[in-house]
Amino acid sequence: MKRLAIVLALSGAFMGGAANALTIDNFDTGTQNLTKNDNTSTSSNVSGLAGTDTIGTTRKLNLTGISGATAGLAAAAKIDVGDSNFFSVSNDPSVDSTVTVIWDADGGIGADNVVKTNGLGGADLTDGNTELGFVFDLIFIDLNVTIDLTVWDMAGNNDTFNHNFPIAVDNYFIPFTEFVGVDPTNVGAIRLVLNGPAGWDAIFNIVDTRTGIPVPAPLALIGLGLFGLGAVRRRSQSA
């Protein structure tokens, strides 16, 4: 019975982690398409989005820091609703840009990266203490793309987590504990900044909060199989 309990516990460890999720943005509403063939900035602000699709019902998208763009070479940041439902960034060869996404419930149209740091009014990202961190569900991201994720709480505290992607990943988990001094149960705003080498691209499926990144079922079964083989080996050695 004890061995069965251990196996079930391992099964939960391998397969758990995605049952609950609090959506920051699933990019299913609010089409935004920013494309620039010169080195000037551009921005878009959409509000009134479905609350279950986008936290605070508002998303600000900014394309700045563009370099290398010409009449035939462009930088583009796009949230394509109705076609792919992805958030995608595409820079032509030799073109670089910085892309910023802000979730702060600020419905005012503004061509800037200003954050209303108390806009979300105290959102509980833990969803009642069941979620442990952010998850970026990535379809694709170029190597050496850097993300800066900043979180503000209603007390005015903020911290930024920085990560460079040296290898390809499908999902990336950032624990709330990485945001020192910030209360994840009382959040006022969230900002994501992306930058990379010339020609960098990225495609996001969803940004949400979860308990962690689930291991795919086949890997879970492999893990359980290895555990079983170990148990058989120990039993045969003791016989």
Q: Based on the fold, state whether residues 189 and 114 are members of the same structural domain.
A: yes
What is the C-alpha to C-alpha distance for residues 34 and 61, in angstroms, rounded to an integer? 8
pLDDT digits (tens, 9 = 90+) for 140-175: 999 999 999 999 999 999 999 999 999 989 999 999
Q: Based on the fold, state whether residues 134 and 189 are members of the same structural domain.
A: yes
The phi and psi torsions of 35 (rounded to 5 degrees) equal -135, 130
Q: Based on the fold, state whether residues 222 and 111 are members of the same structural domain.
A: no
pLDDT digits (tens, 9 = 90+) for 21-68: 899 999 999 999 999 999 999 999 999 999 889 999 999 999 999 999
Q: Based on the fold, state whether residues 67 and 1 are members of the same structural domain.
A: no
Over range 5-29, report the average pLDDT. Answer: 56
Over range 227-239, report the average pLDDT. Answer: 39
Question: Residues 32, 62: contact at Cβ < 8 Å?
Answer: no
Q: How many CB atoms lie within 10 A of CB 157?
A: 16
Q: How many CB atoms lie within 10 A of CB 199?
A: 16
Residue 111's pLDDT is 55
Q: For residue 229, what are the CA distances in angstroms to 46, 133, 225, 232, 239?
A: 55, 34, 6, 5, 15
What is the number of domains present in the chain? 2
Tokens matching residue 175: 């624990």
220 or 141: which leads in pLDDT:
141
Question: Residues 153, 126: contact at Cβ < 8 Å?
Answer: no
**CATH for 139:** 2.60.120
Residue 85's pLDDT is 86
Over range 90-103, report the average pLDDT. Answer: 96
Q: Based on the fold, state whether residues 51 and 85 are members of the same structural domain.
A: yes
Q: Based on the fold, state whether residues 89 and 153 are members of the same structural domain.
A: yes
Question: Residues 92, 199: contact at Cβ < 8 Å?
Answer: yes
Q: Give residue 82's pLDDT band: very low, low, confident or very high (50, 70, 90).
A: low
Question: Residues 186, 155: contact at Cβ < 8 Å?
Answer: yes
Residue 25's pLDDT is 96
Tokens matching residue 184: 């994840």
Q: Residue 114 pLDDT more than 50?
A: yes
- Which residue, 134, 140, 158, 155, is CA-closest to 213? 134
Radius of gyration of the chain (CA): 21
Mean pLDDT, the chain, integer: 83
Task: Give the single-character DSSP code of 59.
Answer: E
Q: Based on the fold, state whether residues 191 and 140 are members of the same structural domain.
A: yes
Q: Based on the fold, state whether residues 69 and 184 are members of the same structural domain.
A: yes
Q: Based on the fold, state whether residues 176 and 223 are members of the same structural domain.
A: no
What is the C-alpha to C-alpha distance for residues 131 and 146, in angstroms, rounded to an integer? 24
Domain hosting 222: range is: 1-16+215-239
Residue 213's pLDDT is 81
Q: Based on the fold, state whether residues 105 and 158 are members of the same structural domain.
A: yes
Interaxial angle between packed helices 2-15 and 217-238, expressed in degrees from 0 to 180 and rounded to the nearest 10: 150
- Read off the pTM: 0.82
Between 2-6, 77-81, 114-118, the lowest mean confidence (pLDDT) is in 2-6
Residue 95's pLDDT is 96
Residue 107's pLDDT is 79
Q: Based on the fold, state whether residues 197 and 220 are members of the same structural domain.
A: no
Q: Give residue 14's pLDDT band: very low, low, confident or very high (50, 70, 90).
A: very low
Q: Based on the fold, state whether residues 165 and 186 are members of the same structural domain.
A: yes
Q: Residue 19 pLDDT more than 80?
A: no
Residue 168's pLDDT is 87
